[in-house]
Amino acid sequence: MATDYDLIIVNGVVVTDTDIAELDIAVKGEQIAKIVPKGQLKDAKAARTIDAEGGYVMPGGVDAHVHLQEPPLFGKGSTADNYETGSRSAVCGGTTTMVTFAPQKKSEDTLLDTLHATHAKAKDVCYIDYSFHLLVGNPSERALSEFKTLREEGISSLKIYMTYEALQLHDGQILDVLLEARKQQITTMVHAENGQVIDWMTAQLEKKKMFAPKYHGTSHPPMAETEATYRAICLSEFMDTPILIVHVSTPAAAAHIKSAQDRGLPIYAETCPQYLFLTKKDLDQPGFEGAKCVCSPPPRESEADCDDIWEGLANGTFTILSSDHCPFRYDDAEMGKKSSVSEQYPLGHFKYIPNGCPGIETRLSLTLGEDRLDLKKFVEVTSANPAKLYGLWPRKGGLIEGQSDADINIWYPPGKMQEYILTNDMLHHDVDYSPFEGRTLKQWPRYTVLRGQIVWDKENGGLLGKKGYGQFVKRDASSLAGPRKAGEWEIPL
């Protein structure tokens, strides 16, 4: 029997960043071939038809902040997931594209070697499509001169740190990076915390022999984030080039971002589920348990802080919602959270706890299940905007006929999924815990499609995707607003 299409999805409520409507979708090969009003595909022949039964149909998730298989960059910890297990976990939670980090160490001179080494880690093992942000640890003359080649190789973003001794750049180096990034239309991501303030606070706590995991939070005061965020905004405005402030956790930092945006500056911001769901209480658990929630910035003071971050998502302050999946095993004395336990510090020392939490698989379901965000806004911050900001649109993040890859999540119709309590054994990462264990899940993708293939079918086999199906995707410049003035940056005289 000749077929018109490879896959048809009917009876769904299609949600994109701009529209909600009852539409049916036809997929041919790897792309969205047609999107038509409900019922209009009834005579079309397809190899496979999925009845969405009234569930939401959305573009697949794009997670633009993922750490996998990184060498130990500071301290002993080293990330648990590799490209295979991290991308497997992603697809089982409805994320079809990820942008991970290719980290250059301070001792290294070149970025291109870093890029090629990271390609080698990802090649042939990923379950989902991927790209990399270059993490610039050493903006040497050579590294800066390579930005142009990065663009030719499909890389249009990089990340810098204002903290962590092993990676921290001083302001002059940040300006060097921004100047060259501006020339090459690269978006610079900034980890905005003041490293010297954190070191000073750490010393204060050590003098008082305060080593428990909860003091990680104390050592990273909101002020350190607020100051660095505002400084990053000033540097970006001076250079007139877009930046994205990663993992914003502090309302005062968010307010600086909002007022910069109100002035028309190309300041973009990211937050993560940690800052919507976790607080200081999660760091203050019996024994060493709080280490599970040690990440930077830390979960903040109270639910009022989380509410403010939710509001920032709703009102457009936050451009994207990423996982910051940065997994370390808990019960691992070599590479994980417990590498900070020693004879001298039997309950660990917060300063040595590897920073980061897993979350690539739970990002979409946890956030959607809360029912706190408008549906279009949910698609915007979890899929469309990361694709636009990082030069993947409209191939990723949208459902546009003839232009978008057929990357699709079909959710459970309201009321159809039995709620359950999240446990780590439901997840597909290579980590022995999730900071979100014990929470009630009200949603999960029922089906996930990646470039036309059904890669996840929750009730019939779960993971159906194949290792190695995921491809490197070359990226263009950001399609969100860039510098306000065209031409080269000039010394303001």
Spell out the alpha helix ranges (H) of 424-474. none
Stretch that binds ligand NAG, among 307-315, 396-404, 408-416, 428-436 (CB under 6 A): 307-315
Q: In this structure, are residues 268 and 285 in contact, taking their beta carbons and an 8 Å threshold?
A: no
**270 vs 308 by CB, closer to ligand NAG:** 308
Contact between 302 and ligand NAG by CB under 6 A: the answer reads: no
Tell me if 144 contacts ligand NAG by CB under 6 A: no
Of 119, 258, 281, 372, the residue at the interface with ligand NAG (CB under 6 A) is: 258
50 versus 228: smaller Cβ distance to ligand NAG: 228
Min dist CB 265 to ligand NAG, Å, is: 15
Distances (CA, A) of 126 to 65, 81, 83, 258, 404: 16, 12, 6, 36, 20
46-51 and 5-15 beta bridge pairing: parallel
Q: Which two tokens stand for residue 1?
A: 């029997």
Of 204 and 315, which CB lies nearer to ligand NAG in the complex structure?
315
Judge whether 394 and 18 are in contact, CB under 8 Å: no
Q: Within positions 316 to 335, which residues make up the interface with ligand NAG, using CB under 6 A?
A: 317
Q: Indicate whether 315 belongs to the interface with ligand NAG (CB under 6 A).
A: yes
On whether the CB atoms of residues 465 and 453 are closer than 8 A, the answer is yes
Q: Rounded to an integer, what distance in angstroms lies between the CA atom of residue 67 and that of residue 76?
A: 16
- Residue 301 interacts with ligand NAG (CB under 6 A): yes or no: no
271 lines the binding site for ligand NAG (CB under 6 A)? no
**Binding status of residue 423 toward ligand NAG by CB under 6 A:** no
Nearer to ligand NAG, 254 or 283 (CB): 254
Alpha helices, H only, 266-417: 274-277, 280-283, 303-314, 363-369, 375-379, 385-389
Taking CB under 6 A as the binding criterion, the range among 34-42, 228-236, 312-320, 394-402 that sits at the site for ligand NAG is: 312-320
Among 178, 94, 155, which residue's Cα sits nearest to residue 369?
Answer: 94
Tokens 């960043």 found at: 17
Q: Cis peptide before 273, with omega less than 30 degrees from 0?
A: no
Q: How far is the CB of 278 from ligand NAG (least distance, A)?
A: 17
Nearer to ligand NAG, 113 or 374 (CB): 374
State the nearest-atom distance from the C-beta of 432 to ligand NAG, in Å: 34
Q: For ligand NAG, which residue of 255, 400, 464, 480 counts as binding (CB under 6 A)?
A: 255
Does position 226 bind ligand NAG by CB under 6 A? no
372 is an interface residue for ligand NAG by CB under 6 A = no
Structure token pair of residue 320: 């994207």
Is residue 253 within the footprint of ligand NAG (CB under 6 A)? Answer: no
In 78-136, alpha helices (H)? 83-92, 112-122
Question: Which span sits near ligand NAG by CB under 6 A: 173-181, 222-230, 251-259, 355-363?
Answer: 251-259
DSSP for 296-334, please give it: SSPPBS-HHHHHHHHHHHHTTS-SEE---B----SS-TT
**33 versus 257: smaller Cβ distance to ligand NAG:** 257
Q: Provide the minimum distance between the beta carbon of 270 and ligand NAG in the complex, in angstroms, as a whole number.
A: 13
435: left (phi over 0), alpha (psi -120 to 50) or beta: alpha
Specify the residue, 60 or 312, whose C-beta has the smaller distance to ligand NAG: 312
Contact pick of 55, 103, 273, 312 for ligand NAG (by CB under 6 A): 312
CA gap 309, 276 in Å, rounded: 6
222 contributes a contact to ligand NAG by CB under 6 A: no
Token output for 475: 């990226």
**Least separation in angstroms between CB 259 and ligand NAG:** 8
Stretch that binds ligand NAG, among 63-71, 306-314, 387-395, 458-466 (CB under 6 A): 306-314
Q: Which of these ranges, 94-102, 146-154, 253-261, 482-490, lies near ligand NAG under the rule CB under 6 A?
A: 253-261
- Give the residue at shortest CB distance from ligand NAG: 312
Q: In 146-279, where does DSSP find H-type helix?
A: 147-152, 171-183, 195-207, 215-219, 222-239, 251-262, 274-277
Name the amino acid, one letter, at 467.
Answer: K
Select 50 or 306, whichever has its Cβ closest to ligand NAG. Answer: 306
Q: In this chain, which stretch among 203-211, 254-262, 332-340, 479-487 interacts with ligand NAG, using CB under 6 A?
A: 254-262
Q: Which position among 52, 254, 294, 473 is part of the footprint of ligand NAG (CB under 6 A)?
A: 254
Q: CA 300, CA 277: separation in Å to the nearest integer? A: 10
Among the listed ranges 36-44, 181-189, 235-243, 305-313, the one in contact with ligand NAG (CB under 6 A) is 305-313
Note whether 121 and 461 are within 8 A (CB). no
Residues lying near ligand NAG in the complex (CB under 6 A): 251, 254-255, 258, 308, 311-312, 315, 317
